[in-house]
Amino acid sequence: MRDAYIVTAVRTPGCRRGKGAFKDTRPEDLLSFILDAAVQRTPGLDKGQVDDVMIGCSFPEAEQGLNVGRIAVQIAGFPDQVSGATVNRFCSSGLEAIAQSAMRIMCGWSDITIGGGLESMTYVPMGGNLARPHPEYTREHPDLYISMGMTAENVANRYNISREDQDQFAYESQMKASKAKAEKLYTEIVPTPATRFVLQADGTYKKETFLQDFDDGIRESTTLEGLAKLRPVFALNGTVTAGNSSQTTDGAAVSVIMSEKAVKELGLKPVAKLKFYTTVGCRADEMGVGPRYAIPKLLKLAGLTIDDIGLWEINEAFASQALYCIRELGLDKYMDRINIHGGAIALGHPLGCTGAKLCATLLTNMRAKGVKYGVESMCIGGGMGAAALFELCD
């Protein structure tokens, strides 16, 4: 089987749902922009050389429906022969798209592909616009449709993750992200055009465009005292709050993936290889434990141990589930390797985009620090976990 090389991995900023810089920016515009930017940042690559584009999206409907993976390719100016598709594995959709695109390279079906992810939680809310759970099945298995916040409460209760520890974890995420933002370490971000509608004196609105170049959900002023004052959101006497949960966010991210043949023909220096990817199921009512099972499965496939991994990106859907997974896996002795520039509590979790976003962040940090192996992992709504192993190229 051939190697799959990631030569470019970029993302838009992540911006707060309904309040952030992208609240008036259609999702197709976010995705088409970052697709174009990825090609522009890959020397010698012509859009017509790309065989296929696979885009992850957790709620592919309304403005991000009608196969947004193909529509955005067209908006971005790729020629007609470049195909596109949309894939949905909820929170790992972006990583799933990258993995499927890489597999086409690995099995010799393509030489150049693009994988990525998109979510505008402003335009398409959590759960979609018209949720219709199966009426009989919900009586037998209501856990399959449970609120993600309640699954976080279940993890906290079943595995004794305290409110204090959750808030401490959330605080550290905000502080790491604040530091990285101040030091301009998010070099995977491409300044992205954003739309806003400005009220005019005559009562009409004027459409304006501006560049957004930072994640606007980071709260530099976060304190432990402030986090402690927040009320539980999902249970009357619970411990999961808005402060120790991931932010709902808008954003897009993509990676350009090539065979060794294409890399040599274009004279490129790839960043990393996608070596392994795996998924696993778990109980739906505690879906946050997914990485605790996906990561060992991944490491067994690769013949590695946690000691071999130099950097980790473990999605912070909720502090309770991230802490549980870290502790159960014995990763708490390597906290300085985990989410080194903050995680989704500070930066946001744009659902279908997150897997692609974490890929761009992880590869950027692996290259900056010269780390050979990096892993990204996340829990997935419905009761799953996913994990991928990347190897830095010399």
- From 15, 57, 91, 359, the catalytic residue: 91
- From 325, 349, 353, 359, the catalytic residue: 349
Among candidates 104, 116, 131, which has minimal Cα distance to 57?
116
Which residues contact residue 160 at a Cβ distance below 8 angstroms, ignoring those fewer than 6 apart?
none
Mark whether 134 is an active-site residue. no
Query: For residues 306 and 300, is the Cβ–Cβ distance under 8 A?
Result: no
**CA–CA dist 220, 332 (Å, integer):** 24
Cα dihedral 98→336→318→331 (10° resolution): 90
Query: For residues 104 and 52, is the Cβ–Cβ distance under 8 A?
Result: yes
**CA–CA dist 150, 143 (Å, integer):** 10
Mark whether 57 is an active-site residue. no
Is 268 in a helix, a strand, or coil?
coil
Mark whether 141 is an active-site residue. no
- From 15, 282, 325, 379, the catalytic residue: 379
**CA–CA dist 366, 125 (Å, integer):** 33
Query: For residues 152 and 243, is the Cβ–Cβ distance under 8 A?
Result: no
Catalytic residues: 91, 349, 379
